[in-house]
Amino acid sequence: MKKVLLGLAVAGFAITSASPAFAIKQLSDRFVAIYAGEKADEGFVALVKEAKCNVCHVNKENKKKVRNPYGAALHEALEKDEFPVADFKKDPEQFAERLDAIFKKLADEKSGDEKHETFAKRIEAKLLPGGNVEGKKDE
């Protein structure tokens, strides 16, 4: 019985201390609506569709722990804003403006790319904000 209780206590601690995973379809949908919508360049739209989750994550890596530079910056911005991810999943439209403001603010942050200094400049150059279609930094 003690082992069961200890196991439950450890599991409870692990769950409460884990960083929330923001790899959700609704975030991806909002990114597409803002940057790869009807008025976007066809090549960029195709790139976003090919990359899918790798706009923020890195292919074949743990999606909960490994993010490319854009994904890491977005994750940090969502946490700083105390963005209600669970509520957003249930009703994305209710939080659309708030998320749009986060994306807009994030666009001006440094991308780590010397040629395209911000995430916005990478997107303007028809590049994914965080790396290539596998989510890895451009070589």
Type and span of the H or E element at 87: helix 85-90
- CA distance linking residue 80 with residue 110, whole number of Å: 17
Report pTM: 0.81
Q: CA triplet 107, 57, 135: central angle to 5 degrees?
A: 80
Three-class SS state of 110 = strand
One digit per residue, the tens of pLDDT, for the chain of length 139 reads 555 444 444 444 443 333 344 568 999 999 999 999 999 999 999 999 999 999 999 999 998 899 999 999 999 999 999 999 999 999 999 999 999 999 999 999 999 999 999 999 999 999 999 999 999 987 6
Match 């769950």 to its residue by tokens: 15
Q: How far is CA 129 from CA 12, 123, 133, in A?
A: 36, 6, 10
Specify burial of residue 92 (Cβ count, 10 A radius: 0-12, 13-18, 19+): middle
